[in-house]
Structures are given as C-alpha cells and as structure tokens.
Structure 1
Amino acid sequence: MRINYDFSDLEAFLAVKETGSFHAAAEQLNLSQSAITRRVQKLEQALDSSLFERSTRAVKPTLAAKRLQSRAEGILQDAKETTRAMRDESVAFDHQRGAIVTVATIPTIVTDVLIPAIQTLRKTGSGARIRLIDGSANEVAEAVATGEADFGLCSIPMLEPATRFEPLLDDQIMLAVPQEHPLAGGHIHDWDELTGADLILPTRGTGNRLLIDEAMAKARRDLHWTYEVGRSTTALDLVVAGMGVALLPRSAIGLGRVATCTLPDPTITRSVGLLSRLGQADTPAVQATKAAIRTAV
C-alpha cells in the first residue's frame, strides 16, 4: 500500500484538531490558511476519510479524526525521537573520531617507538585518547585494511592491497643472552659459534622467522633450535631464566633484563614503519600521532 501523506500533513491536521480552526492552525504553524487546507485535504484523500465537519461557525472533528489523533501524535513523536537520536549519534561519532586514535602495533616496538611518541604527543597538549591493538604484523595489516585501526605500526607484513607502508627505521636482529653470559656485549664472528647453544627462535610463519630463514638460506646455513616461541616476550623470559639465547629484533630486547651480542654476516634487519589505508583522510588527531611517531624514530 502506497502512503501519500507526510509529516507536515499530520502536523497540519493536529494543529486544526487542537485549535478548532484552520485560521488559528495557520498562525500556529506560521503558514497560510490555504496551505493548511491543502494539507488537510491531502491527508483526507490519502486516508479516504473526512476528518472535519466545516461550517461558517465551527470546525468539528469527525470520528475518523478522533481515531487518527493518537496515531498521528505517536508517528510525529517517533520521528522527532529518531531525528534527535541520529543527530546525537552523529555528534558522538564525530567527537570519538577526532578524540580517539586507534593504533594497531606489533608489541616489540611499543617501548622504543610508541611510548616516546605518546609522551611527545602529551607534551604538545594533545588530549587524544590512544587505543592500542597489539598483534603480529599480519594482524596489524588486517586491522588497518578493515578499518578497525586508524593506522598501523609494524614490520613490513604481507601487504593488503588497500594499504601503504611507510618505512621509518631498520630494526637489526640481535642475539639476546643472559647478563652474565660470555657473549654479553660482544660479537659473534661465525655462525658456528652458536653450535651447541640452546637457541630460541621465533615460530615458523612469523615475520621475524621468515627474515631469519631467508638470511640463513642465502648463507647456506642451518640453525638448530631448541625452543620455538610465538612472542618475543616469551623468548626474553626464557633468556632471563638462563634457558638459552634468542634471535630477536633490537627493539624487542629492551634494556636491563638481558644483554645483547651482534651477529655475523649476513646482517638481518626488518623494516619498521607506518601502515595506512589507501584513500583514508586522517583526522587532525591521527595526523598528530603519526607526526609524533616520526619524531620519536
């Protein structure tokens, strides 16, 4: 069934019903009397019902008008509430979009890159709230591509077609060893020096492991591992406990807990940078956060 009347027709009807006069209804709605008459007639035609009995002395509502009144009031009230709610949600969304910055990041660069950037941002007086999504490089890429994050901070992942990677720094793979280890602060001249060591490597399929395997393949080397772990923090815990030595990015090792040792050629590095979604217009808060990260790097 086609509806041939609108909210303005219902408003005109209710004004006439309330005032008992087409003239008074016109004054109430700031319209001409002829406009009120046309709207009421349009509503009567759409409903196929007479709503008012008109005479030179008075305008009396019909039974159909009395039945329509409560429904018309409900329809207009629902429309007003819907409009108000949509406006409130739009304002809230605009505020949220400008005040909250969602950053997807690999955990290993939070300490050296992201925390200094946020500290710099706070010194500028920025009131932006930062929501962090931590995960692997591929998880970061997915969060950016799907719009879950405003941008990502990661080593170069399997790039989604809709994303763009901006390199910021080269993060060298080091050997993390216990503080009292003979190699602490030193340099390995040949990979054979790791023979017999309890070696901790990233799990196969992770970005860091792919870099290590590619470098070893080019050097025609084979590393014998004792432990495979999914997260760098787990590898560090094993090193601190004296259970082995780990190949980890410099940024993941941190300060104080373990010592480092540089590795022989081929040097293994991962590129770390900003991952953005193509075609996305950054809010001022996102622009400021990216700028702070570039400064921190």
Structure 2
Amino acid sequence: MRINYDFGDLEAFLAVKETGSFHAAAQRLNLSQSAVTRRVQKLEDALGSQLFERTTRSLKPTLAAKRLQARAEAILEDAQETTRAMRDESVEFAHQRGAVISVATIATVVAPLLLPAIRAFRANGHTARIRFLDGSANEVAEAVVAGEADFGLCSIPMLEPLTEFVPLFDDRIVLAVPTEHPLAKRATASLNDLGDTPLILPRRGTGNRLLIDEAIARARTPLSWTYEVGRSTTALELVENGMGVALLPQSATRSANVATCALTAPNIARSVGLLSRLGQKDTPAVAALKTAIRSVV
C-alpha cells in the first residue's frame, strides 16, 4: 500500500484537532491558513475519511479523527525519537573521531620526545586516545600524505610536495660503541679512528643512510661497512654484543647499554620535526599535543 501523506500532514491535523481552528493551527505551525487546510485535505484524501465537520460557526472532529489522533501522535513521537537517536549517534561518532589522535613517528624519538610530551598533554587535562604509527621516515611521510596520521614526527631528506615540515631540533649522528671498546673512553672520534673495527650502517634507502652517504662523499673519506641493518634497534643489539660500532642518531642511543662519542670529520646531523599536510586544520586535541611536543624541545 502506498502512503500518500507525510509528517507535515499529521502535524497539521493534530494542530487543528488540538486548537479547534484552522486559523489557530496555522499560527502554531507558522504557516498560512490555506496551507494547513491543504495538508488536512491531503490527509483526508489519503485515508479516504473525513476528519472534520466544517460549518461556518464550528469545526468538529469526526470519529475518524478521534481514532487517528493517538496513532498520529505515536507516529510523530517515533519519528522524533529516531531523529534524536541518529543525531546523538552522529555526535558520539564525531566525538570519538575527535578523541583519537594518530601520530606517525620514527621510533627513535618516541622515548626522548613523544613520551614526555604526552605526559605534559595528560597533565593539562587532555584525555584523547593516541594511536602510534611507528615506522621509517618514508613511512611516516606516506602516512601523513595519505591522511592516515594527523601529523608526523620524523626526519626527511626530501620534503613531500603536499606536506609542511617544521624543524624541532638537530639530532647528531654519533658513534655507538661497546662499553669495553677503546673509543668508549673518548668524547669525540672520527671515521679514521675506527681502524679495523667492523662498521654497522643503516640500510641503503633509509633517510639516515642518505645523510651519511652524502657526508662521506663530501668528506671524500672511503668507508666500508661490515653489517647493514634496517632498524636502529638491530644496530644497537649488534653493538651491545661486541659485533662492531654503529653510526646512529643520538636520540636512538639514549636508553641503550652502549657508549657513544661525538662524530667529527665528518659532522653529520639530521633535522627532526613536525610533518603535517598542507592546508590541514588541527583539532584542539591535535594542536594541544603539538604544543606539548614543542614545549619538550
């Protein structure tokens, strides 16, 4: 059966029934009297029943009107409840989305930078959940460009065209050496001091390796590696077990059981910063976490 009336028709009917006047119903609904009349007539045609007996002096509801009233009120109440529920769910969903911050980050800055920032973020009363997307610098940049992350923390040798990079600090490349190695007692060292000690380098294609290769090329210092690894944690495991010395960002060695000495000749550093999509507007929670990160630096 096709339904040829709508909620507006039922509202007009109830207003007329309750006020006893087309004129008063029109004022209640903020409609013209003729519009209310048309809606009631449309409802009568759809139901095949007369709802009001009209005379020049009075307006009386029919038996059909009395039977319809309770059902019309129930229909409108159900519709209003459905609308309220849908709006509440939409607001809740929007709140949940706003309450989750996705941060793409390189692993080496989590402990020295991101964790202290999160503690400050929490201390200021922020309760947003935080999703970590940890990976290489290239993976961080890809997550930001794809919109998977609200922002990134990384070092990038080349800026993506759709992103904005704001430097936070320079992270020096240092020599990580076993604690019993002769270089462990020195504050500085150059590549020429390595002698026959096996060298551990980041894998080709990574941002750190690109920085190192460029610095070596400028210094015209021949360099031969013994181990090549994809992650700084793997390099540290090798160093801790006396397998060699590694060229690593200083931030990656802070909590490791290894000794470090500053690298001179060449002096290598990577810029670590916030990576965001161009034109993106931060939510208040995202902006607050960024502020906390900058305060830590």
Name the TM-score, length of structure 1 as normaliser: 0.78
CA contact (8 A) 1:141 1:158 kept: no
SS at match of 2:243: coil
CA contact (8 A) 1:199 1:246 kept: yes
CA displacement at 1:142 relative to structure 2: 2.3
Residue type of the partner of 2:241?
Answer: A
Distance 2:97 2:256 in 1: 38
SS at match of 2:248: strand
CA contact (8 A) 1:22 1:36 kept: no
CA displacement at 1:267 relative to structure 2: 1.0
Distance 2:215 2:97 in 1: 44
Residue type of the partner of 2:288?
Answer: A
Q: Deviations over 1:2-29 (max 9, x none)?
A: x98653124446x49xx988938987x9
Q: Which residue of 1 aligns with 2:57?
A: none
SS at match of 2:263: coil
Q: CA RMSD in A?
A: 3.6
CA contact (8 A) 2:190 2:266 kept: no
Unaligned runs of 5+ in 2: 55-59
SS at match of 1:94: helix
Matching of residues 9-48 of structure 1 within 5 Å: 9-12=9-12, 15=14, 23=20, 30-31=28-29, 35-42=35-42
CA distance 1:146–1:11, shift in 2 (3 Å): farther
Q: Which residue of 2 aligns with 1:52?
A: 50
Distance 2:141 2:177 in 1: 31
SS at match of 1:286: helix
CA contact (8 A) 2:189 2:261 kept: no
CA contact (8 A) 2:44 2:51 kept: no
CA contact (8 A) 1:187 1:264 kept: no
SS at match of 2:217: helix
SS at match of 1:183: helix
Distance 2:233 2:259 in 1: 15
Q: Which residue of 2 aligns with 1:127?
A: 127
Q: Deviations over 1:217-262 (max 9, x none)?
A: 2223342222222111111112112222211100011135111122
* Stretch moving more, 199-208 or 49-58: 49-58
CA contact (8 A) 1:166 1:274 kept: yes
Residue type of the partner of 1:52?
Answer: Q
Percent identity over the alignment?
55
Q: Which residue of 2 aligns with 1:166?
A: 166
Distance 1:74 1:200 in 2: 74
Does residue 94 of structure 2 align to residue 81 of structure 1? no
Deviating above 6 A after TM superposition, structure 1's stretches of 4 or more consecutive aligned residues are 19-22, 24-27, 72-76
Distance 1:59 1:245 in 2: 97
Matching of residues 120-269 of structure 1 within 5 Å: 120-156=120-156, 158-186=158-186, 189-269=189-269
Residue type of the partner of 2:91?
Answer: S
Q: Deviations over 1:116-145 (max 9, x none)?
A: 222233333443433322111122222222
CA distance 1:44–1:158, shift in 2 (3 Å): farther
CA distance 1:59–1:22, shift in 2 (3 Å): farther
Distance 1:51 1:152 in 2: 67
Q: Which residue of 2 aligns with 1:105?
A: 105
Q: Deviations over 1:127-182 (max 9, x none)?
A: 34333221111222222223322221111254332221111111011111111111
Distance 1:157 1:24 in 2: 77
SS at match of 2:38: helix
Q: How many residues in Structure 1 have an aligned counterpart in Structure 2?
A: 283
Unaligned runs of 5+ in 1: none
CA contact (8 A) 1:103 1:152 kept: yes
Distance 2:90 2:225 in 1: 54
Q: Deviations over 1:24-72 (max 9, x none)?
A: 8987x94487654321334567x6x74536546653559xx99xx79x9
